[in-house]
Amino acid sequence: MLQEAKRIQQLPPYLFARIEQRIAQAKEDGVDVISLGIGDPDRPTPKHIIDKAAGQLYNSENHQYPSSVGMLSFRQAVAQYYKNRFNVELDAKSEVVTLIGSKEGIAHISWCYLDPGDISLVPDPGYPVYGTGSALAGAQPYIMPLKAENKFLPDLDAIPEDVAKKAKLMFLNYPNNPTGAIASLDFYKKVVDFAKKYDILVCHDSAYQDLSFDGYLAPSFLEVPGAKEIGIEFGSCSKPYNMTGWRIGWAAGNPQAINALGRLKSNLDSGQFQAIQYAGIAALTGPQDSVKEISKVYQERRDIVVNGLNSMGWKLEAPKSTIYVWAPVPKGYDSISFAEYVFEKSGVVVTPGNGYGEHGEGFFRISLCIEQERIQEALERIKQNIGKVEF
């Protein structure tokens, strides 16, 4: 029998792959499933973005191998976006690299900086790729708990001195998946000081920073003076422009880290299809009305979820950003048992919090990527089968 490498044997099944299998089986059994599980935008990509890509499909120059670090024009569009949105100056040639979706870069940055035995600082609960990317590089993820009492921000002072001295990477993600938490520039300043003290590369995942509600605008980590000296930020067209399937993103910031990521990519992939990069340019430099419109849609869905759960006994504050609502499980349940109970009784899929790490235990996540009518129906089913809850 063929023997898999230990790194593959130790990988857990990807959380959303398990959820997709469960949904498929239920549908085969005739269940009318309402999935509030996966955060995949349900609205189409804006027409002007599609049209740009469609036109470029016929350009024969795009039918050859692209650059592994991306077209300069796309990287310039990213730099212009940072200037317009955050007043952050970026050198498109040395401080931006194109990614085949930000997930790719988040996974690969560990290969650039972590050797076997090294430590990475990983938020928990958090996007699973931070930890799995570190583990695939042979490193040891050190968990930074995200607790409600700390507004789901890591307590940097709680990281032991010996761990901080050995750590080489720190992963952060705000606005945060799965908690919906936000971070201030004051917090980022503390991160910059911490990273400079211990010589750590900060890797900030900013996939949700353009989806904001109630007048809130998320800052960029790169706005903090000195951030580019110790950090990079991963961005993506996926969520604000409904482009998850297009796979186009970037990393921006520290030129040494950007160069390392580009060199790794040149040995692993041949870059993103240029027609898709042109679509990314259209997204970043074109009209932003669609981003405001989709943010309004998510805000309306958020309100339905928060108000619906609160009417059953929850006491949730409405998140200011992301496409998720993070909520504690009721008394008498853990994350898995509550998600299973909801699914079995109502055919509604919610994501158990412990799928995002041990500190996600006691919570569940609801995605807002489904039309209002189905969200309302899902909440009504939950209410009928669960009624009032206690904590």
pLDDT at 14: 65
Continuous segment of H or E residues that includes residue 296? helix 289-311
CB-neighbour burial class of residue 373 (10 A; exposed 0-12, middle 13-18, buried 19+) = exposed
Distance CA 254, CA 360 (A): 31
Per-residue pLDDT at 26 = 82
The predicted structure's pLDDT at residue 16: 63
Asked if 262 and 97 count as a contact pair (C-beta separation under 8 A), the reply is yes
Angle (deg, nearest 10), helices 335-346 and 372-386: 100
Mean pLDDT for the stretch of residues 142-148: 98
- Residue 203's H or E segment, with its range, is strand 201-205
Angstrom CA distances, 180 to 134, 270, 320, 325, 376, stand at 24, 34, 7, 7, 20
Average pLDDT of the segment spanning 139-147: 97
Confidence (pLDDT) at 27: 85
Q: Which of these, 67, 69, 41, 49, lies nearest to 251 by C-alpha position?
A: 69
Which of the 8 DSSP states describes residue 4?
P
What pLDDT does 386 receive? 86
Mean pLDDT across the chain, nearest whole number? 96
Helical segments of 145-288, H only:
161-166, 185-198, 227-230, 255-268, 274-285
Average pLDDT rounded to a whole number, residues 150-156: 98
Q: What value does the mean pLDDT take over residues 134-145? A: 96
The pTM (predicted TM-score) of the whole model is 0.96
389, 331 contact by CB (below 8 A): yes
Q: For helices 47-56 and 274-285, what crossing angle results, to 10°?
A: 150
pLDDT of residue 125: 98
* pLDDT given for residue 29 in this prediction: 85
Average pLDDT over residues 323-348: 95
Same domain for 193 and 239? yes
39 & 88 share domain: no
Query: How far, in Å, CA of 335 to CA of 361, rounded?
Result: 6
Residue 391 covered by a domain: no
Per-residue pLDDT tens for 50-66? Answer: 999 999 999 999 999 99
pLDDT level of residue 284 (50, 70, 90 thresholds): very high
As a whole number of Å, the end-to-end CA separation of the chain is 50
* Mean pLDDT calculated for residue range 286-315: 98
Give yes or no: residues 202 and 347 share one domain: no
Q: Are residues 22 and 102 in the same domain?
A: no
Q: Is residue 96 domain-shared with residue 158, that is, in the same domain?
A: yes
Q: Are residues 121 and 214 in the same domain?
A: yes
Helix (H, G, I), strand (E, B) or coil at 143: strand
pLDDT digit string, tens, across residues 3-48: 999 888 888 776 666 677 777 888 888 889 999 998 999 999 999 9
Q: Which two tokens stand for residue 5?
A: 């490498």
Residues 40 and 161 reside in one and the same domain = no
Q: State yes or no: pLDDT of 227 exceeds 80.
A: yes
Please check whether residue 137 lies inside any domain of the structure. Answer: yes
pLDDT bracket for residue 270 (50, 70, 90):
very high
Same domain, 154 and 297: no
